[in-house]
Copies of this chain bind each other. A is one copy, B any other.
């Protein structure tokens, strides 16, 4: 558990640049480690984890080392410690504050979801243009007029805006959010935001793209001479 001082360099110096490919994999590690943790497992080797996750042990060790030495030779990785470290790296439990813009079917589904709270993100309110729902509550969240979006965000230090508006409205709402100091946009509008400059993180959810990829894969199945590829 306690490491001697001479091996401590890595953690300090490796603040250079974590490859994008590694970052994209972190949430998946987080998911599997969380599962192992709930199963009560205490430690795991890169070899065993590689089997569970279907990736190479080499990749796991390489990935985890981008952030410093989380493991211990001859022992493996302490799951709880590793899980905590990855949570920290990802910014989970930073207590970010979010609003959902667009109270349609998808907005409502997200309002009902506990996905946010599980990652330490707090939902504050919904916003919409529909006067018939403004002033009501949806799954415990107040619904406000989109006209109040800017002021609400500045007054409540909102960090994250979830966009579930029609694509025609997406860019205008996004601009409002950014001007109100929001730092990240989770974009479900099926269009790409054109936010010039600003230091804002954008995560796009293009469900339509995913559906098309699925269609492609289905279509491609037939073309292959059936290889029986497993494991």
Contact = CB atoms under 8 A, between A and B. Distances in A.
Q: How large is the interface on A (under 10, 10 to 19, 20 to 34, 35 or more residues)?
A: 35 or more
11 contacts: A23-B216, A26-B213, A27-B206, A28-B206, A89-B216, A90-B213, A90-B219, A91-B218, A115-B211, A197-B230, A201-B221
Nearest to A86: B212
A188 to B, nearest CB: 9
A190 B197 CA distance: 34
Interface of A: 23-24, 26-28, 30-31, 89-92, 94, 96, 104-106, 108-109, 112-113, 115-116, 118-119, 121, 159-160, 183-184, 186, 190, 196-197, 199, 201, 203, 205-221, 226, 228, 230
B118 A109 contact: no
Nearest to A25: B209
Q: Give the oligomeric copy count.
A: 2
A228 B199 CA distance: 8
A200 to B, nearest CB: 8
A212 B90 contact: yes
B27 A96 contact: no
Contact of A186 (B199, B214, B230): B214
Nearest to A224: B199
B205 A218 contact: no
A186 B210 CA distance: 8
Nearest to A185: B214
A183 B214 CA distance: 10
Contacts of A113: 105-106, 207
Contacts of A27: 206, 208-210, 212-213
Contact of A221 (B186, B199, B228): B199
Contacts of A197: 228, 230
B186 A203 contact: no
A32 B226 CA distance: 34
A57 to B, nearest CB: 19
Contacts of A94: 215, 218-219
